[in-house]
Amino acid sequence: MTVQTRSVDSSELLAQRINLLLKNRTGVPIKDLLVEVADREVLLHGYTNAYYNKQLASHVVMNVINNRDLINKIEVI
């Protein structure tokens, strides 16, 4: 019997962690949230109904991305 495992790189783990933080810790309603982690930057995509929510998401993420740049493309609608 062969067990297949999927390796998860650190970028994917960071993206998952950010997703969980934004959903569980902040309670910020962000629709279609997508977190992308590249070599030196983190991109946030999605939609929210208040600029405050976008700013709160930035604040939360800045605490966990270390030396990466944050690009917050969450749209306020």
> Tens digit of pLDDT for each residue in 4-32?
545 457 899 999 999 999 988 777 789 99
Instruction: Kindly report, residue by residue over 34-64, the tens digit of the pLDDT.
Output: 999 988 999 999 999 999 999 999 999 999 9
For 4-38, b where at least 16 C-beta lie within 10 A, e where not — what string?
A: eeeeeeeeeebbeebeebbeeeeebebeebebebe
> 10-76 adopts what CATH topology?
Helix Hairpins (1.10.287)
Q: pTM, whole model, 2 decimals? A: 0.82
Domain ranges of the chain: 10-76
